[in-house]
Amino acid sequence: MTTAGSAGAGGNRESARGAAAGRVRRRRRAAAGVAGALLALAGAGAVPGPVWAADSAPQGPPKVIVGGSPADTETHPWIVALSSRKTYGSARSGQFCAGTLIAPDKVLTAAHCMFDENGRPAKRSDLKVVQGRTDLRTSAGREVAVASSYTNPTFDLAEVSRDWAVLTLAEPLSTGVLPMVGAGEDVYAEDTPATVLGWGDTTGRGDYSSVLRQVDVPITSDATCRTAYPGGAMGSYDQASMVCAGLRQGGKDACSADSGGPLLIDGRLAGIVSWGDGCALPRKPGVYTRVSAFAADIRKAAGM
Ligand code: ARG
């Protein structure tokens, strides 16, 4: 399903695989989140050398998020990178997921970002959030330790459903928060313009961006998303807890390491980057956590 492994060449190969194998792979990827897929990819020899170092090599102008354009943390001060240098190396400030400040000391992210490549809750003693760092190769902005995390207890790792977690920071950040859509609010009509931001893969081949990027993707109907993800090896769309966005022809999407980051509708936090089959493939929209479905639970978890 998601991630670098299924993107690029893998994305197309995926459909040719047997259902059982696909299901296992999908589960593994789901369990793995970003990290596992990257490690798996590196292990398979698809990407030479350390995956996270790929972006630090000179490769011309930076690209980010598939089909998008550069963005900056001055305009979007509430987006943060989740970082663990011990796990992911320091080239890109240890970035592996993203998150959004919903209160000065609370970050909303994806639950799957809290799991390791073996599908176990990750123990990252150096987990931090990085705020105000458009370019992860610099030391701009601030790094704040994560004091504790709350993973939605109904998160389903195998299905990657109800995918949200709240991090509590060791110190508050006074840089501004992003308002969430209201509980039960229906902001997800088909073709509603939405924007996703992140430092993730720009091609689906492990080209992680150093610079924050954004891309506009229209919300897709539940019917379209159900057709794309009918269940089994292809992943299963659950309209109660998920929402999809993307172009029918593909070309614009979030991708690996964008996970946990925000999908904005009308300047509010309406989705969390969660999963997808490959990245930016035709008729395979990105799948996001439906924030309105969990807004009340999220507020409660964040003490708001
Ligand atoms: N699961 C991926 C991550 O861990 C995000 C995938 C989003 N994929 C997509 N095609 N929209 O970073």
Q: What is the 3-state secondary structure (H, E, C) of 201-245?
A: ECCCCCCECCECEEEEEEECCHHHHHHHCECHHHCECCCCCEEEE
Q: What phi, psi does 37 have (nearest 5°)?
A: -65, -40
User: What per-residue confidence (pLDDT) applies to 182?
Assistant: 98
User: What per-residue confidence (pLDDT) applies to 44?
Assistant: 27
| Alpha helices per DSSP H over the chain | 3-6, 8-16, 19-43, 85-88, 222-228, 291-301
CA distance 258 to 200: 4
- Residue 142: pLDDT over 60: yes
Q: Is the pTM of this model over 0.75?
A: yes
Could you give the percent of the chain with pLDDT greater than 70? 79
User: What per-residue confidence (pLDDT) applies to 46?
Assistant: 26
User: What per-residue confidence (pLDDT) applies to 176?
Assistant: 94
Amino acid 274 reads S
Pocket test for ligand 1, best of 274, 281, 289 (most atoms within 8 A of CB): 274
- Residue 148: pLDDT over 70: yes
| Active site (annotated) includes residue 277 | no
In this structure, which residue's CA is closest to atom 11 in ligand 1? 286
Whole-angstrom distance between the N-terminal and C-terminal Cα of the chain? 33
What mean pLDDT comes out for the span 123-138? 98
Out of 10-24, 108-122, 134-148, least confident range: 10-24
User: What per-residue confidence (pLDDT) applies to 43?
Assistant: 26
**Active-site pick, 55, 149, 161, 163:** 163
Q: Which residues contact 229 (CB under 8 A, 6 or more apart)?
A: 235, 236, 237, 244, 277, 287
User: What per-residue confidence (pLDDT) applies to 172?
Assistant: 98
What mean pLDDT comes out for the span 240-253? 97
How far does residue 256's CA lie from ligand 1's centre (Å)?
Answer: 4
What mean pLDDT comes out for the span 281-298? 98
User: What per-residue confidence (pLDDT) applies to 272?
Assistant: 98
**Active-site pick, 76, 84, 93, 112:** 112
User: What per-residue confidence (pLDDT) applies to 55?
Assistant: 31
CA distance 143 to 163: 24
Instruction: Write the pLDDT tens digit of every residue in 263-282.
Output: 999 999 999 999 999 999 99
pLDDT band at 233 (very low <50, low <70, confident <90, very high): confident
How far does residue 259's CA lie from ligand 1's centre (Å)?
Answer: 5
Instruction: Write the pLDDT tens digit of every residue in 194-209.
Output: 999 999 999 999 999 9
What mean pLDDT comes out for the span 108-132? 97
Question: Which of the pair, 285 or 13, is modelled with greater confidence?
Answer: 285
- Residue 213: pLDDT over 90: yes
Instruction: Write the pLDDT tens digit of every residue in 52-78.
Output: 222 333 333 323 388 999 999 999 999
Pocket test for ligand 1, best of 1, 3, 164, 197 (most atoms within 8 A of CB): 3
| Active site (annotated) includes residue 163 | yes
User: What per-residue confidence (pLDDT) applies to 194?
Assistant: 98
* Token code pair at residue 249: 């022809």
pLDDT band at 12 (very low <50, low <70, confident <90, very high): very low
- With contact defined as beta carbons under 8 Å apart, do 78 and 130 qualify? no
| Active site (annotated) includes residue 266 | no
User: What per-residue confidence (pLDDT) applies to 65?
Assistant: 80
Ligand 1: lining residues by beta carbon, under 6 Å = 2-3, 33-34, 200, 253-259, 273, 275-276, 279, 286
Pocket test for ligand 1, best of 215, 220, 275, 288 (most atoms within 8 A of CB): 275
Amino acid 158 reads A
